[in-house]
Structure 1
Amino acid sequence: MSIYIGNLSYEATAEDITDIFSEYGTVKRVQLPTDRETGRPRGFGFIEMSSDEEESAAIEALDGAEWMGRDLRVNKAKPREERPASGGWGGNRRGGNGGGGGRDRRF
């Protein structure tokens, strides 16, 4: 099982989160996703602890708690949903040639 932690301060580090969650048991892993373009934290993360009991205790204690000026959202992580494969830019699927009038530039 994994824990989702949302509404994190962008200043929070994996070490900060480990310190907070270690009060409820052994933290095995902390993952803080970053934005691909900017490299900045995305404001959420995932935590794995040694047992379901430790994770449940951490969720109960920390969900809604104020930390680093933000109210945390802490709950069991849901499995990632598969997204349909996209073919490029997606979006507009109009038929027709999509051309637009104008005069012939050869003359």
Structure 2
Amino acid sequence: KMADVLDIESVEDFGEEDGDIDVSRLKDRARKRKGRGLVQPPTEVDRDPNYDRIESGSDHIPGPQKSIEGWILFVTSIHEEASEDDVYEKFSEYGQIKNINLNLDRRTGFIKGYALVEYDTYEEAAKARECLNNSEILGHKIHVDWCFITEPKKSSRRRKH
């Protein structure tokens, strides 16, 4: 058996065929797009986002910062088998809890080891933070700190070395 052979010498001209003309016309009309997200002109939302903000005021003191909803504590090193009720019970002794959030690991079903506990007033949150930091839940030592803090105001003058 003999394989199919392409006879190059019998081909007359490698000029543009109908398909080549269509491809070149298509390439002329195409726009070049590069980069992640194909940068587009900013929309109205991008130019003037109307987000809720809390102004820190002129007496910029470093320390805890109130969120839009309230005063939020970040609790870490929680035992993985602890429940929302365990955390709620421990923190409700220091004031009315406005909201509590424990994220679960979808694979295991246990909590991820941290929680966000929200109080309405600074006094309740500060008391809970002071009393519960380095305390225990289900035999595990937990750490409690502010979720949002303000940094010291940066001086406009540069340091000279």
List runs of 5+ in structure 1 lacking aligned partners: 80-107
Note if contact 2:74-2:115 (Cα within 8 Å) is conserved in structure 1: yes
User: 2: distance between equivalents of 1:68 and 1:36?
Assistant: 22
Which has the bigger relative contact order, CA under 8 A and spacing at least 6? Answer: 1
Alignment of 1:1-107 (within 5 A): 1-78=71-148
List runs of 5+ in structure 2 lacking aligned partners: 1-70, 150-161
Note if contact 2:74-2:117 (Cα within 8 Å) is conserved in structure 1: yes
User: 1: distance between equivalents of 2:137 and 2:106?
Assistant: 26
Matched position secondary structure for 1:57: helix
Q: Which has the higher helix share?
A: 2
User: 2: distance between equivalents of 1:11 and 1:40?
Assistant: 6
Q: CA deviation at 1:36?
A: 4.2
Q: CA deviation at 1:48?
A: 0.3
Q: Residues 25-75 of structure 1: CA distance to partner in whole angstroms, max 9, x if unpaired?
A: 001111001224444310111000121110000000000112211111001
User: 1: distance between equivalents of 2:107 and 2:137?
Assistant: 27
Question: Which one has a bigger Cα radius of gyration?
Answer: 2
Q: Residues 7-32 of structure 1: CA distance to partner in whole angstroms, max 9, x if unpaired?
A: 00111111111111111000111100
Note if contact 2:134-2:144 (Cα within 8 Å) is conserved in structure 1: yes
User: 2: distance between equivalents of 1:66 and 1:73?
Assistant: 9
Displacement over 2 Å in runs of 4+: 35-40
Matched position secondary structure for 1:18: helix
User: 2: distance between equivalents of 1:57 and 1:29?
Assistant: 17
TM-score for both structures, normalised by structure 2? 0.46
User: 1: distance between equivalents of 2:78 and 2:115?
Assistant: 8
